[in-house]
Amino acid sequence: MNGEKLWKIFQQQDADRDSVDLVNIEPRAAMSRRTFIELIGFSAAAAALAGCRAPEQKIIPFITQPMAEFTPGVGLFYASTCGGCSASCGALVKVRDGRPIKLEGNDLHPLTGGGLCAVAHAMVFELYDSDRLRQPMRGSQAATWDEVDAEIKKQLDGIKQNGGKVRVLTSTITSPTTLAVIEKFLTQFTDGKHITYDAVSTAAIRKAHLKTHGREAIPSYKFDAAKLIVSFGADFLGTWIAPVEFTRGYSQARNLRDGRHEMSRHIQFESRLTLAGSNADRRVKVSPAEEIESLLLLAKLVAAKTGQQAPAEIASFNPTNLNPRLQQVVEQTANELVKLKGASLVVSGANDTDAQVVVNFINNALGNYGATVDLNAPSAQKQGDDEAMAELVREMNAGEVKALIISGVNPAYDHFARNEFTSGFAKVPLKISLNPTRDETSANADFICPQSHFLESWNDAEPRRGTFSLSQPTIAPLFQTRAYQESLLRWSGDERNFYNVLREHWKENIFAKDANFDELWDKSLESGAYTIERTAAAQPAFASSDVGNAATRLKTRAMTLAGKLTVALYEKILMRDGAHANNPWLQELPDPITKITWDNYASVSPALAEKLQLEEGSVVRVSNGATTIELPAHIQTGQHDDVIAIAVGYGRTHAGKAGNNIGANAYPFVSFDNGTFQYLANGASIEKTGAKIEFASTQRHHTLDGRPIIKEFTLAEFISGHAGEGERERQSQSIWKDHAYGEHKWGMVVDLNACTGCSACILSCQAENNVPVVGREEVRRQREMHWIRLDRYFEGDGETTKVVYQPVMCAQCDNASCESVCPVLATVHSSEGLNMQVYNRCVGTRYCANNCAYKVRRFNWFDYPHDDEIANLALNPDVTVRTRGVMEKCTFCVQRIEEKKILARNEGRAIRDGEIQTACQQSCPAQAITFGDLVDQESRANHLKHDERDYILLPELNLRPAISYLAKVRNTEEA
């Protein structure tokens, strides 16, 4: 190390109290990677060391880590809020040597607990995305902030004097302070308006509640309190509103560990196979028309059975498209719901106000408001107003809008009528984009004022009323970017920085007036969350006046949909609306249902595929009206024959080097109808083009073929004790002596009943362990590198598709078949039961991988690129980056084990159970993974190993793996 050089930089920095001018340095050209990292490390180290840079912005690490104890090489955790989507989950940011390197779940957060989703884990990569803009832009010219601010202010002043419409178009903002900043900015103008636009909108729920309860709000849904969940196509475990929070609640209500014998029941009516549907106890495959009629029939039956007054349109409803079997299913569902009045929950994923009105009617009839649906603590997680967006497009085209400022939205890509949007956009005299990249919309803006990444900025969030969290910057901005709030403040003539605005807002509006502000602020910053306890209030009254009309319209809609081929648009849990398309971690994360990476596709049912003579990967042309796109077909069991399911979020043209031209853009299929965006396009046609591609899929065989890999029981079987039957583990018959374990023997239990397949573990592992991305071609060759994979098996025929998920990673076997075959002892057993891979000893014979029964070993076929010096900053310094030709695999996060062992030793104590958490375990929203010391008889892992559902994979091989699984239980009996 070049100590002298470091010291100089540090002194310099200390002297002029400014961060080293990182942004003007072209890292590739001007400096070596090492110097760059040193600079990054020291600029942030300085920030942490009593704030050499910006003393007034104190950021506070999680729990108790006094500032003076900043130690290079030791990770610090800062509580923050994930900015990956509008769900605003609580997160901890792990900062190593001044670099944020990982997001983890914050278990002090009241909504999400310790959970995070896959997208959140990928956000670190986005911070170090070298495709981000590095300075403000005037058109396509680089500019400085002073220049840009001066020009924008001048033009805005012109509008102030002459009048004219100023519009701020943003995605959902859960931050109360930011909303105040926007409001303040807009008050300067005679006609200023803030419009919220979500590419994938749930505006219908808000509109429906305005109609039925007089409140335009999305209620909070309590999946933990619901004993029966009936979902009509809502993928609440995958993408709907706040999936992490819902998964957490859902799995809590279905937890069968620790002697519990009760679990909630989940019935899903849906036309395509969603993540939520794949977890349902009863999944009813329906066409879109049948889904509507089932909902109406359910409303009728529930009203009748609860004695609720129902409008005539519902009371007299007679389904025309429901076959007797479906009618019977709906009847059974109604019976079950009525039995669990006040402890059930009906949700619908349709962005159709009428459907949501009927859902509200059912929930109201069941007395679920106040129990499982709460309008007094509404969610702010989806605020998109589809009507306002439509109005904006009209105004722009009419030339009425004088200035448009966009932030976090990309309508030139994801608006259904993007041509209309762009033509209107072109007519706006002042177009300012606050997006971080030169995306489809920003490319046509007059100014791009790139916002800092959320890991570089201050912010707050109120995802649900009364539940607040804070974001703190964990690194100085890498580039010349600025928080978008700060841009708006400048243009409002407010020279304060956003940090001060934030504190003042909290002082004025959030904390109680008499509270000790600094103490409360520090505490909130430290824990990441602040909750205002509200006294219970009655739910707003239900008004049934609109239900009848809604039912009538729904009936018509069902008639138009019936028997027609429908394009159903959806978000993939990894790609979501496409904003993060340039993130290779997300692109390479296999979809939990299809297991396909790096593509979107037209999912068709096996019957439809047979009819059209499609094979997996046959390219089809899907048309609806003027919209035609070509996509490869994917044959999806469990999907209804009337539906072609296509994921949005693909087909980006200005995403960046990883995300451009991956898949095709399906947003043009969206329509605007009845005040909301419709994600079903009926009357579609599909034809085969004759071309064929091969998917980059990580799993090619989808059934168990009778192999006892997954153990599954019905709840009744479980209660009557069948889960404990059958072979558990054989007695050792080895000629070798057993391993003698001293202090520790690490082990893991994975609860298959909790795992929903959300795939967050895969990306958590990828971020923690520097797992390389290999690209589409290599995944096609089946060489993906993920250390933990999520096996997904389909069971049953096409009518009743059952899905099971099984996370599989290295099982750290006692009788490890890999260890005995390695000629050079590159994989050996540790004294703590770990199967260790010694990278620098490995010569790469691949014998170990061949002989691994679980096939969890991954080989470095090539030198995977590490030439993007900015992206390399996301690497975890605790984990070696592997070279070509060596084998790698899950290590049980040995670096985390060692970290805690050192900590415990320094503190002179034993390691506490649960103190060590593997990366996959840490942020599992369903808490499906338990890790611990099996020598410790009292450990949680040991305790679960004695659960009656505990079983090991492939027991006949006598490998004695350290991972066991808890059998899946389905609540299939009618309650």
Partner 1 sequence: MAVAVKHTEDLAHEATHPVVSPLRKPLIEGHKTYGDVTTDICNLLDRRAGAGWWIAFSVSFVLMVAGIIATAHTVSTGIGTWGLNKTVGWAFDITNFVFWIGIGHAGTFISAILFLFNQKWRTSVNRSAEAMTIIAVMCAGIFPVIHMGRPWLFYWILPYPNNRGSLWVNFRSPLVWDFFAISTYFTISLVFWYLGLVPDLATARDRTISKLRRGFYKVLSLGWNGSNRTWSRYETVYLVLAALATPLVLSVHSIVSFDFATSLIPGWHSTIFPPYFVAGAVFSGFAMVMTLMILVRKLMRLEDYITVQHLENMCKVTLLTGSIVSLAYLTEVFIGFYSGNPNEMFVIVNRVLGPYSWAYWTMVTCNAIVPQLFWFKRVRTSVPLIFVLSILVNVGMWFERFVIIVTSLHRDFLPSSWAMYMPTITEITIMLGSFGLFFTLFLLFLRIFPVISMNEVKGVLHYARR
Of 20 and 822, which has the nearer Cβ to partner 1?
822
Cβ(945)–Cβ(747) below 8 Å? yes
**What six digits make up the tokens of 286?**
């329906």
| Cβ-based neighbours of 384, under 8 Å, separated by 6 or more | 171, 172, 196, 197, 198, 201, 202, 203
Over 105-169, what HEC string results? ECCCCCCCCCCCCHHHHHHHHHHCCCCCCCCCEECCEECCHHHHHHHHHHHHHHHHHHCCEEEEE
Comparing CA positions, the residue from 493, 518, 492 lying closest to residue 506 is 518
Task: Determine, following the binding rule CB under 8 A, whether residue 705 of this chain makes contact with partner 1.
Answer: yes
**What is the spatial distance between Cα 240 and Cα 347, in angstroms, rounded to a whole number?**
10
Q: How far is the CB of 775 from partner 1 (least distance, A)?
A: 11
CB 803 within 8 A of CB 278: yes
In angstroms, what CA-CA distances link 904 with 381, 768, 911? 40, 21, 6
Residue closer to partner 1 by CB (options 269, 805) is 805
- CB 963 to partner 1: min, Å: 13
Neighbours of 7 (CB within 10 A): 11
If one asks whether residue 821 binds partner 1 (CB under 8 A), the answer comes out as yes
CB–CB of 35/869 below 8 Å? no
606 vs 844, which CB is nearer to partner 1? 844
Under the criterion CB under 8 A, does residue 836 sit at the interface with partner 1?
Answer: no
Cα-based distances in Å from 834 to 837, 838, 910, 961: 9, 12, 19, 10
- DSSP for 931-965 reads EEESSSTTSHHHHHHTSTTEE-SSGGG----SEEE
Region binding partner 1 by CB under 8 A among candidate stretches 131-139, 445-453, 740-748, 848-856: 848-856
829 binds partner 1 (CB under 8 A): no
Q: How far is the CB of 600 from partner 1 (least distance, A)?
A: 22
Q: How far is the CB of 692 from partner 1 (least distance, A)?
A: 16
Q: Using the minimum distance from each CB to partner 1, give the nearer residue, 699 or 972.
A: 699
**Residues 641 and 607 sit within 8 Å (Cβ to Cβ):** yes
What whole-number distance in Å separates Cα of residue 548 and Cα of residue 546?
6
- The neighbour count for residue 9, using CB atoms within 10 Å, is 16
DSSP conformational letter for 456: G
What's the token pair of residue 317? 């409803």
Stretch that binds partner 1, among 18-26, 284-292, 309-317, 858-866 (CB under 8 A): 858-866
Choosing from 571, 791, 878, 947, the residue that interacts with partner 1 (CB under 8 A) is 791
Name the residue nearer to partner 1 (CB basis): 417 or 709: 709
Stretch that binds partner 1, among 302-310, 552-560, 721-729, 822-830 (CB under 8 A): 822-830
**Separation CA 302–CA 228 (nearest Å):** 14
Give the range of 38-46, 318-326, 645-653, 701-709 binding partner 1 by CB under 8 A.
701-709
Angle at 283 between CA 279 and CA 288, to 5 degrees: 120
Establish if 709 lies at the interface with partner 1 (CB under 8 A): yes
* 912 lies in the binding site for partner 1 (CB under 8 A): no
Please name which of 715, 712, 651 lies closest in space to residue 254, comparing C-alpha atoms.
715
Among 312, 426, 716, 825, binds partner 1 (CB under 8 A): 825
* Residue span 913-952 as binding mask against partner 1, x where in contact by CB under 8 A, dash where not: ----------------------------------------
Is the Cβ–Cβ distance between 506 and 177 less than 8 Å? Answer: yes
Q: Is 783 in the site for partner 1 (CB under 8 A)?
A: yes
Q: How near is the Cβ of 917 to partner 1 at its closest, in Å?
A: 26
What value, to the nearest 5°, has the Cα angle with vertex 658 and ends 655 and 660?
45
Does 324 participate in binding partner 1 (rule CB under 8 A)?
no
User: d(Cα 644, Cα 664) in Å, to the nearest integer?
Assistant: 14
Among 849, 879, 881, 904, which residue sits at the site for partner 1 (rule: CB under 8 A)? 849
Asked if residue 787 binds partner 1 (CB under 8 A), the reply is no
From the CB of 848, what's the least distance to partner 1, in Å? 9
* Total site size for partner 1, rule CB under 8 A: 56
Q: Which is nearer to partner 1, 162 or 840 (CB)?
A: 840
Instruction: Give the strand pairing for 344-348 and 228-232.
Output: parallel
Neighbouring C-alpha atoms within 13 Å toward the C-beta of 727: 12
d(CA 267, CA 282): 5
Quickly tell me which residue has 């469990």 as its tokens: 638
CA–CA dist 294, 277 (Å, integer)? 16
Choice between 322 and 779, CB closer to partner 1: 779
**Options 789, 896, 949, 970; binder of partner 1; rule CB under 8 A:** 789
CA pair distance 644, 741, nearest whole angstrom? 55
Q: Structure tokens of 157?
A: 């002043």
**Shortest reach from residue 953's CB to partner 1, in Å:** 8
Choices 326-334, 369-377, 675-683, 836-844 (CB under 8 A): range interacting with partner 1: 836-844
Instruction: Select the residue interacting with partner 1 from 154, 701, 737, 946 (CB under 8 A).
Output: 701
Examine residue 108 and tell whether it contacts partner 1 (CB under 8 A): no
**Smallest distance, partner 1 to C-beta of residue 590, A:** 11
State which residue, 780 or 940, has the beta carbon closest to partner 1. 780
Q: Closest approach of Cβ 830 to partner 1, in Å?
A: 16
Q: Is 851 in the site for partner 1 (CB under 8 A)?
A: yes
Q: Binding of partner 1 at residue 808 (CB under 8 A)?
A: yes
- Does residue 145 touch partner 1 according to CB under 8 A? no
- Which DSSP state fits 724? G
For residue 22, state whether it binds partner 1 (rule: CB under 8 A).
no
The reply on whether position 706 binds partner 1 by CB under 8 A is yes
Distance, first Cα to last Cα, the chain? 68
Residue matched to tokens 């990677």: 33
CB of 207 to partner 1, least distance (A): 43
DSSP 3-state assignment of 748?
strand
C-alpha 622/C-alpha 448 separation (Å) is: 35
The least CB distance from residue 888 to partner 1, in Å, is 11
Element spanning 177, H or E: helix 176-186
CB 768, min distance to partner 1, A = 20
- Closest to partner 1 by CB, 533 vs 956, is 956
Selection from 884, 883, 923, 916 nearest residue 900 by Cα: 916
Least Å from the CB of residue 780 to partner 1: 10
CB-nearer residue toward partner 1: 365 or 785 = 785
Counting contacts by CB under 8 A, is residue 850 touching partner 1?
A: yes
Min CB(952)–partner 1 separation in Å: 13
Window 951-970: contact mask with partner 1 (x via CB under 8 A): --xx--x-------------
Residues 859-898 that bind partner 1 (CB under 8 A): 859-863, 883-887
Distance CA 899, CA 736 (A): 32
730 touches partner 1 by CB under 8 A: no
Q: Does 423 bind partner 1 (CB under 8 A)?
A: no
854 contacts partner 1 (rule: CB under 8 A): yes
- Minimum distance from residue 721 beta carbon to partner 1 (Å): 27
Contact between 835 and partner 1 per CB under 8 A: no
Question: In whole angstroms, how close is the CB of 474 to partner 1 at the nearest point?
Answer: 35
Q: Which of 563, 553, 559, 554 is nearest to 640 (CA)?
A: 563
Interface contacts to partner 1, rule CB under 8 A: 699-707, 709, 778, 781-784, 789, 791-793, 806, 808, 817, 820-825, 841-847, 849-851, 853-855, 857-863, 883-887, 953-954, 957
